[in-house]
Amino acid sequence: MPDRSYHHGHLRAALLDQAERTLREQGIEGLSLRDLARQTGVSHAAPRRHFPDRQALLDALAEVGFLRLGDALAAVLDEAGEDYEKRLRAVATGYVRFATENAALLDLMFATKNTGPSDAVRAASARLFTSVGELIAEGQQAGVLPPGDLERLRLLLVATLQGIAALVTSGRARPEQTGPLIADAAGLFLRR
Amino acid sequence: MPDRSYHHGHLRAALLDQAERTLREQGIEGLSLRDLARQTGVSHAAPRRHFPDRQALLDALAEVGFLRLGDALAAVLDEAGEDYEKRLRAVATGYVRFATENAALLDLMFATKNTGPSDAVRAASARLFTSVGELIAEGQQAGVLPPGDLERLRLLLVATLQGIAALVTSGRARPEQTGPLIADAAGLFLRR
DNA sequence: ACCTGAACACCGTTCAAGT
DNA sequence: ACCTGAACACCGTTCAAGT
C-alpha cells in the first residue's frame, strides 16, 4: 500500500524518474501515462495535474534530456584540459556517446512536431547550443576552426554529431565505426 | 459502397498509398491500422494479410522511403551535369529537401529500433548508400574530396545531411538556414 | 491542491468463420 | 487466398466527486 503523502509535491519528479527508466528500457512507444501512474502507485488520472497530456510528458522528458546533455558536455570539457583540439574531440565524443546511450531520449529531443518545440524545450536546447557556440568561438579565435558565421558553424557541428548518432542508433553504421566517424568529422572541422 | 473486388491483389498497395498520405498529413503518431482499413474500405482485420502488425507497415513505409529518396537523388544527378562540385551540391540539396519535405517518413526510415532495420529496409537503404558511395568515389578520383576510407567518408556525408535535416525539421534551425548549412557542409568536404 | 473512479472513444491483436 | 465480425486487453482523455 503506497504512502500517498509521499507524493505531495514529489509526484511530478517521481513520474519523470520512472518515465526516464521506461524510456530507456522500452523506448518511446512503450511509454504510457497509465502504465506510468500504475508503476508510481497513483491512479491513472493523477499525472494529469502535472502533465495535461502525453505530449506534455514527452516535452518534459526532452527538456530533462537537454539539461542532462549539457551537464555531460560541461563535465567532459572540465576533464579535457587546455588543448583545443582535444577539447573539441572530447565534446564530439561526449555528444555522440550520450546520444547513442540515450537513443530514445534523443529521438524525443529532436522529434519532428507540427508545432515546433515547446518554450521550455526550446530554452533548454538553446542553453546547450549556446555552450557549443562558445566552444566554436574559442576555436575560431585560436585560428584552428574555419572563420565565418558562428551560428552556421555551430549548427553544422551539432548537425554532424546528431547525424552520426542517428546513423549508429538506426543501425546504418556499426558501433565500432563511431570512433572513426567522430575522428573524421573533427578532422574536417579542424582542416586536418 | 466500396467495390471489394477492386482490392484483389491491390489492397497492399492501396494501404501503402493511404498510409503515405496519412503520414504526410498526420505524422507517424496519427498512423493507425484501423483507420487505414477504414479509409481504404476494408474491415479492420484485412490489413493483417499484408502487414502482420503495425511495425510491418512502418517497415514497408521505410522501404518505400529509401526507394523514393534514391529515385529523387538519381533524378537530381541526371540534371546536375558534369561539374563534380555541382553534382555533390545537387545531391546534398536534394537529400535535405526530400528529408524536410517528408519529415515523418525520414523519422521512420531512421527510427531507433531494438532489433535494427528489417532485411527489406536494410536492403533498400544499402542501395541508396551505395549510390552515395559511388558519388564519393567519383570525387576522390577527381581529387576534390579528401582521400581515405570510402565507407567512412560516405557515412560522414550522409550523417551530415541527415543531421542538417534533423535540425531543420525539429525546429532547431530555421528553414532559411538550410541553404547556407548545405553550402557550408559541401565546403567542408570540398576543402574550400 | 491533489487525487480517485467511472466513463467514452479509440487502439493493436487474435481467431473462428465466411466466400 | 482474402476478408469479416466479435472479442480481449489495452490506450488517452474527460469529469464529477472526494479529502
How many interchain CB pairs under 8 A, A with B?
A: 133
Average pLDDT of chain A is: 93
Neighboring chain B residues of A155 at a CB cutoff of 8 Å:
164, 167, 172-173, 177, 181
Taking C1' of D15 and every protein CA, the nearest residue is A45
Task: Tell me which amino acid residue B135 is.
Answer: L
When pLDDT is cut at 50, 70 and 90, the band that residue A6 belongs to is low
**CA nearest neighbour of B28 among B61, B63, B68, B70:** B61
How far from the centroid of its chain's Cα atoms is residue B162's Cα? 10
pLDDT of residue A13: 92
The pLDDT of B13-26, averaged and rounded, is 94
pLDDT tens, position by position, B96-110: 999 999 999 999 999
A36-42 contacts: CB < 8 A, separation 24 or more? A40/A7, A40/A11, A40/A14, A40/A15, A41/A2, A41/A7, A42/A2, A42/A4, A42/A7, A42/A11
C-alpha A142/C-alpha A29 separation (Å) is: 45
pLDDT of residue B115: 83
C-alpha A126/C-alpha A16 separation (Å) is: 22
pLDDT tens, position by position, B32-56: 999 999 999 999 999 999 999 999 9
pLDDT of residue A51: 95
Give the number of other Cβ atoms within 10 Å of residue B29's Cβ.
11
C-alpha B83/C-alpha B72 separation (Å) is: 19
**A148 contacts B146 by C-beta, under 8 angstroms:** no
Neighboring chain B residues of A96 at a CB cutoff of 8 Å:
none
The pLDDT of A38-46, averaged and rounded, is 93
Task: Tell me which amino acid residue B121 is.
Answer: V
3-state SS assignment for residue A111:
coil
CA nearest to A152 within chain B: B181
Asked if the C-beta of B107 comes within 8 angstroms of chain A's C-beta atoms, the answer is: yes
DSSP calls for B33-95: HHHHHHHHTS-TTGGGGT-SSHHHHHHHHHHHHHHHHHHHHHHHHHHH-S-HHHHHHHHHHHH
Asked if the C-beta of A149 comes within 8 angstroms of chain B's C-beta atoms, the answer is: yes
Q: Which nucleotide is nearest to B2 if distance is taken from CA to C1'?
A: D3
When pLDDT is cut at 50, 70 and 90, the band that residue A4 belongs to is very low
List, in order of start, the domains of chain B with CATH numbers.
1-52 (1.10.10.60), 59-189 (1.10.357.10)
Retrieve residue A32's grid coordinates.
Answer: 504510457
**A165 contacts B105 by C-beta, under 8 angstroms:** no
pLDDT tens, position by position, B114-154: 788 999 999 999 999 999 999 999 999 999 999 999 999 99
pTM comes to 0.94
When pLDDT is cut at 50, 70 and 90, the band that residue B85 belongs to is very high
Closest to A169 (Cβ–Cβ): which among B107, B112, B156? B112
Task: Strand D proximity: list residues 49-88 of A with CB under 7 Å.
Answer: 52-55
First-to-final CA distance of chain A: 62
